[in-house]
């Protein structure tokens, strides 16, 4: 990719290129890193769908989307890649359409299913980075194990009500999800937790930014757990340590 291609100078009719306004932040080399990157997004609902949208907008080369099933009406308070006339259609198909409309240069591969090891492990292997935006802990644990097995960094992004929490798990360097949450949190209920689209969208923006920072080599949340209260806009960040007896990653 040449400088002209990135800036869009090659086509004077097109004016400034698609990524022109971010070039002072990411640079030509950084934009090439984004273009050469593959990011797997597990869950393209309110959080993961927003993350995928901003990754596509930023020019990530390839997205791998993992999500099962079809859109239902209660999805639409937050799942901005879906639409009312898409109720009953598969979420990954609608997500692909929406993302391609925004940026047709992004290659997209999908798995219409849950995080099942046989199907998803080869997809994790293809990715440079994984964003975990699943809604249930069994799938989050499964993805954590797959990422550890394949040596892939995983951005762990979650929200509950007005609270957002995020960390980046780097195999061999940081605690894994099971160090941090050896058991499913008691407050968690499958698909029963409250979600306001503006909150899951903020969490998705944060996850996409954390992904972009990782790909550009900028400091992020590796080894740190960030908690953000969207009611007060206050955040806290704590250093996290490996659990001494974590069977997955604990070598301490």
DSSP for the chain reads --HHHHHTTT-GGG-S-TTGGGHHHHHHHHHHHHHT-EEEEE--STTHHHHHHHHHHHT-SEEEEE--SB--GGGGGT-TT--GGGTTSBHHHHHHHHHHHH-TTSEEEEE-S---HHHHHHHHHH-SEEEE--SSHHHHHHHHHHHHHHT--EEEEEEETTEEEEEEE-TTTS--HHHH-SS--TT--TTTS---HHHHHHHHHHHHHHHHHHHHT---SBTEEEEEETTTTEEEEEE----TT-TTT---
- Tokens 């990530």 sit at which residue? 60
Per-position x/- string for 177-196, each x denoting binding to Zn ion as judged by CB under 5 A, each - no binding: -xx-----------------
Q: By rule CB under 5 A, what count of residues binds Zn ion? A: 6
Of 76, 7, 92, the closest CA to residue 43 belongs to 92
In the sheet with 154-160, reading across from the earlier edge strand, the strands are 107-111, 62-66, 38-42, 129-132, 154-160, 163-169, 224-229, 234-239
248 binds Zn ion (CB under 5 A): yes
Stretch that binds Zn ion, among 1-9, 47-55, 112-120, 171-179 (CB under 5 A): 171-179
Restricting to residues 218-247, name those near Zn ion by CB under 5 A.
Answer: 246
Near Zn ion by CB under 5 A: residue from 37, 176, 199, 211: 176
Q: Which of residues 83-112 bind Zn ion (CB under 5 A)?
A: none
Minimum distance, C-beta of residue 137 to Zn ion, in the bound complex (Å): 15
Task: Give 229's strand partners.
Answer: 163, 234
The nearer residue to Zn ion, 147 or 202, going by C-beta atoms, is: 147
Closest CB to Zn ion among residues 83, 165: 165
- Smallest distance from the beta carbon of 250 to Zn ion, in angstroms? 5
Q: Which one, 47 or 246, has the nearer CB to Zn ion?
A: 246
What would the x/- binding string for Zn ion be over residues 118 to 157, using CB under 5 A?
----------------------------------------
Which residue among 26, 82, 127, 249 contacts Zn ion (CB under 5 A)? 249
**Between 53 and 169, CB nearer to Zn ion:** 169
Nearer to Zn ion, 142 or 178 (CB): 178
Complex with Zn ion: residue 75 or 178, whichever CB lies closer? 178
Read off the tokens for 222. Answer: 């590796």
User: Among residues 49 and 153, whose Cβ is nearest to Zn ion?
Assistant: 153
Q: How far is the CB of 245 from Zn ion (least distance, A)?
A: 9
Q: Which stretch binds Zn ion (CB under 5 A): 74-82, 83-91, 160-168, 172-180?
A: 172-180
Task: Write out the residues near Zn ion by the rule CB under 5 A.
Answer: 176, 178-179, 246, 248-249
């Amino acid at each position: 990719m040449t400088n002209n291609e990135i800036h869009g100078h090659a086509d004077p009719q097109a004016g400034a290129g698609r990524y022109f306004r971010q070039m002072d932040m990411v640079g030509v080399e950084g934009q090439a890193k984004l273009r050469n990157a593959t990011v797997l997004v597990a869950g393209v609902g309110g959080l993961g769908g927003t993350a995928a949208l901003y990754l596509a907008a930023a020019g990530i080369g390839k997205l791998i989307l993992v999500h099962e099933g079809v859109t239902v009406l209660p999805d639409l308070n937050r799942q901005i890649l879906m639409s009312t006339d898409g109720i009953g259609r598969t979420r990954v198909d609608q997500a692909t359409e929406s993302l391609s409309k925004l940026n047709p240069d992004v290659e997209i591969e999908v798995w219409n299913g849950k995080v099942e090891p046989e199907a998803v492990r080869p997809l994790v292997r293809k990715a440079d980075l994984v964003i975990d935006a699943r809604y249930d802990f069994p799938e989050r644990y499964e993805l954590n194990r797959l990422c550890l097995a394949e040596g892939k960094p995983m951005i762990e992004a979650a929200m509950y009500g007005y609270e957002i929490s995020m960390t980046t798990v780097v195999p061999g360097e940081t605690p894994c999800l099971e160090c941090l949450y050896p058991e499913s949190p008691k407050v968690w209920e499958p698909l029963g937790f409250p979600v306001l689209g503006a909150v899951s969208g903020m969490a998705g923006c944060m996850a996409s930014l954390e992904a972009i920072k990782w790909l550009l080599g900028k400091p992020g949340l590796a080894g740190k757990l960030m908690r953000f209260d969207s009611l007060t806009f206050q955040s806290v960040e704590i250093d996290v340590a490996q659990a001494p007896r974590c069977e997955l990653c604990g070598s301490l």
